[in-house]
Structure 1
Amino acid sequence: MPQTSLKSAPSIHSRLPGLKAPLVWIAILAFIVLGAFVYRYGWQKELLFIIGVLLGVALYHARFGFTSAFRELLSVGQGQGLRAHMLMLAIASVLFAVIFSTGTTLTGAAPQGNVEPIGISLVFGSFLFGIGMQLGGACASGCLYRVSGGTPSFILTLIGFIAGSVWAAYHWQFWSKDLPSLPPVSLATSTGLGYGGAALLQLILFAGIVLFTYWIAKRKNPPPRKPVPTAQGWKRIIRGSWPLWVSAIVLAVLNALTLFISGQPWGITSAFALWGSKILQSFGVDVSSWVYWSGAKAKALQSPILADKTSLMDFGIIIGAFFAAAASGTFKVQKIPFKIHLASLIGGIMMGYGARLAYGCNIGSYFSGIASFSLHGWIWAIFALLGTYAGLKLRPLFGLKNPKQSDSFC
């Protein structure tokens, strides 16, 4: 991926610390044990669990961020992260178009994209999520892989995420039923373009966004992104870092594989609502009476956690990222100031609540939504960016720094 900055960037990466062998073996053991339990629910679930592990490895090795990409673009005009998003979305859109147009999945079931209604809940939820990303320090996928890297504040972000998801599930009747909304709009099936025409349209839009980031870079001359410690040669596959463009390709292919195997794209945050609701249920709360857990979702609430596709993939991400952090030698428990802990918890709650209202997070609505040719995915991106701008104004209140033009690195 080309460098956006007009300033000189370092030519070498800092070297990695030594491999943490005991942690590597713990990750391998966790993969084997959990994989054995997952297999009880069928080979399809086992494949999805393995894809989750590979997603965790890819996310960690490239430090692939949605939160940082939005923050760097709006604060200093650094568009390298957003260009990686566009590459990822372009490849996923083409692969999704093939799967949708042929109706081909591994099980023979018709593939279903993430195409959701457009209404107040989407707008407010994505805006709230954008603020939460900047306070919590990571999005949904970033939270999972950063928890595995040893940063304790992201545990609080995850706890807040779960709490916010359950809170929104409780309020689901108001947001999804009582407030007005428009029906789902597919750029492929609602417009007459078909999947080929919709894919071409989105490729043009992605190219335009890439050109826009270069235009911004020429105007603002942003600092380069900070290099990530890496190994050399073939060891880089296991002991990272990976270039952003490599991770973008891997994530796009793995999302397409998820759609091909399960009939549905990759998602993350619906599992958080499930985990939190099951916890409340164990304390005697009748969550099954909530509108959110009616219809198709009722089965997930009644079934074991590992029978849920999103949950087992989330567990896979955590294990994969933990393995990558241990293999890279970068796993380290860090001390974090209280204000940042507070911001993490508040940001997590905002993201959890916002993700449910907006039918998903940066993965379910932004990545998988746009790749599914849903107009709601593009609207999510716009209002999440607006929320990011608001979040940047709030970050200093919690001792969180924003990138500046005078910085050496983003």
Structure 2
Amino acid sequence: MITGLIIGTLLGFILQRARFCMTGGFRDVYLTKNNTMLYAFFIAIAIQGILVLGFVETGALTIKASTFSLFGTIIGSLVFGIGIILAGGCATGTWYRAAEGLIGSWVALAFYMILAATMKYGALSGFSQEVSSIARYPDSIAQTTGIPQWLLIIIFTVLTIYLARKILKKPKLKVASLPAKHQGILHILFEKRWHPFVAAAIIGILAAIAWIASSQTGRNSGLGITTPSANIVTFLITGNSDLLDWGVFLVLGIFIGSYIAAKGSREFKWRLPSSATLLSSMIGGILMGIGASLAGGCTIGNGLTKTAIMSWQGWISLTFTIFGVWIAAYFVYVRKRKTTQPALT
């Protein structure tokens, strides 16, 4: 279990220092045509995919074939995408921003965890199971298309390299920064601006290691946020210690690592938002918990982890989460901006 805490702490540190939250990344593709964070996400997927494939081929890891609900994945991912815009962060983004002292993120996180637990173990578990039983299909892209797994990963990796090179070839903008207060490793860890591609490469490696570390405890999966978050709430209510699995230690580690990074970079501060933001955070957290449960995962569980093993559920979920983000972004940013502009006379 300690490996979950270690990997989670490292992941939380990197997420906070690199501001690696895909809510903003998906939103920026639509609002500002900025694809940098999306391509960084692809880098993390590609690196994880290559390493996990190597683990499988050498016999170090076994990934069981499964099925998924096409209906649940589409509906749940759309709801989740809308929710993360209202909450101001995805599942991991909410965890690491709560560790920075953002009260709005604490509210979103609380409702996300409660609704995820309600959908998995509580009053809405029957509804969740009913939706998840609709339109179930084999999950492996390789098996259903006949294209070898290694070829799918190579194609995606080549495409990712091409897209990343396009970003790296663009002229670099000079960003004003405060004078350095530290030198050496402390400057790199807590002051230097982290490039999203560097952070993504480390995240991809950690995500691959998570598969091996998690499997050693009998949990045949990689990074995941929603079920561990639900398990924490259910454990606090029932006292069932069986729920304290590797994933629980992972998300607790994300919080710890984010807090260390925020304190070290002097970015920790208790911040109370407006009542409207708190209400939005609450609604967003509710939609996140419901959506991620129906979809079988969040931006990390589906969008990062299952995409790396070329899963239909992962890629369909990622696509419709992005659509959900764009739908919410239109109403929250674009339409609101249009309605608040003064009329021309």
Query: What secondary structure does 1:336 align onto?
Result: coil
Aligned to 1:120: 71
Overall identity of the aligned pairs, in %: 28
Query: What secondary structure does 2:283 align onto?
Result: helix
Query: What secondary structure does 1:117 align onto?
Result: strand
Matched, 1:390 2:313: no
Aligned to 2:200: 248
Counterpart selection for 1:359 from 276, 293, 296:
296
Counterpart selection for 2:104 from 153, 156, 159:
153
CA-atom RMSD, angstroms?
A: 3.0
Aligned to 1:276: 233
Deviations 1:184-241 (A, max 9, x none): 3212344333331221232245457668x86xxx9xxxxx798787766432332143
Matched, 1:303 2:241: yes
Using a 3 Å threshold, how does the CA distance of structure 1 residues 153 and 227 change in structure 2: closer, same or farther?
A: farther
Matched, 1:198 2:152: yes
Aligned to 2:343: none
Scaled by the length of structure 1, what TM-score is found?
0.72
Using a 3 Å threshold, how does the CA distance of structure 1 residues 225 and 119 change in structure 2: closer, same or farther?
A: farther
Total equivalences in the alignment: 326
Aligned to 2:12: 56
Matched, 1:378 2:337: no
Gaps of 5+ in 2: 216-220, 339-345
Scaled by the length of structure 2, what TM-score is found?
0.85
Q: Which has the higher helix share?
A: 2
Q: Alpha-carbon deviation of 1:258?
A: 0.7
Counterpart selection for 2:274 from 304, 329, 337:
337
Note if contact 1:99-1:111 (Cα within 8 Å) is conserved in structure 2.
no
Query: Residues of 2 paired with 1:65 and 1:356: CA distance?
Result: 20
Deviations 1:287-322 (A, max 9, x none): xxxxxxxxxxxxxxx4345x3111111111111110
Query: Residues of 1 paired with 2:300 and 2:260: CA distance?
Result: 22
Note if contact 1:121-1:176 (Cα within 8 Å) is conserved in structure 2.
no
Note if contact 2:128-2:293 (Cα within 8 Å) is conserved in structure 1.
no
Q: Alpha-carbon deviation of 1:160?
A: 1.1
Gaps of 5+ in 1: 1-44, 219-223, 283-301, 403-410
Using a 3 Å threshold, how does the CA distance of structure 1 residues 116 and 356 change in structure 2: closer, same or farther?
A: farther
Counterpart selection for 1:237 from 188, 196, 202:
188
Using a 3 Å threshold, how does the CA distance of structure 1 residues 207 and 156 change in structure 2: closer, same or farther?
A: same
Query: Residues of 1 paired with 2:138 and 2:279: CA distance?
Result: 36
Matched, 1:67 2:23: yes
Using a 3 Å threshold, how does the CA distance of structure 1 residues 137 and 196 change in structure 2: closer, same or farther?
A: same
Aligned to 1:313: 250
Using a 3 Å threshold, how does the CA distance of structure 1 residues 330 and 112 change in structure 2: closer, same or farther?
A: farther
Note if contact 1:135-1:394 (Cα within 8 Å) is conserved in structure 2.
no
Query: What secondary structure does 2:142 align onto?
Result: coil
Query: Residues of 2 paired with 1:208 and 1:132: CA distance?
Result: 32
Aligned to 1:86: 42
Note if contact 2:52-2:309 (Cα within 8 Å) is conserved in structure 1.
yes
Query: What secondary structure does 1:265 align onto?
Result: coil
Query: Residues of 2 paired with 1:376 and 1:318: CA distance?
Result: 27
Query: Residues of 1 paired with 2:174 and 2:248: CA distance?
Result: 32
Query: Residues of 2 paired with 1:132 and 1:227: CA distance?
Result: 33
Using a 3 Å threshold, how does the CA distance of structure 1 residues 96 and 201 change in structure 2: closer, same or farther?
A: same
Query: Residues of 2 paired with 1:280 and 1:190: CA distance?
Result: 42
Aligned to 1:290: none
Using a 3 Å threshold, how does the CA distance of structure 1 residues 333 and 175 change in structure 2: closer, same or farther?
A: closer
Q: Alpha-carbon deviation of 1:166?
A: 2.5
Using a 3 Å threshold, how does the CA distance of structure 1 residues 209 and 354 change in structure 2: closer, same or farther?
A: farther
Note if contact 2:67-2:137 (Cα within 8 Å) is conserved in structure 1.
yes
Query: Residues of 2 paired with 1:393 and 1:339: CA distance?
Result: 18
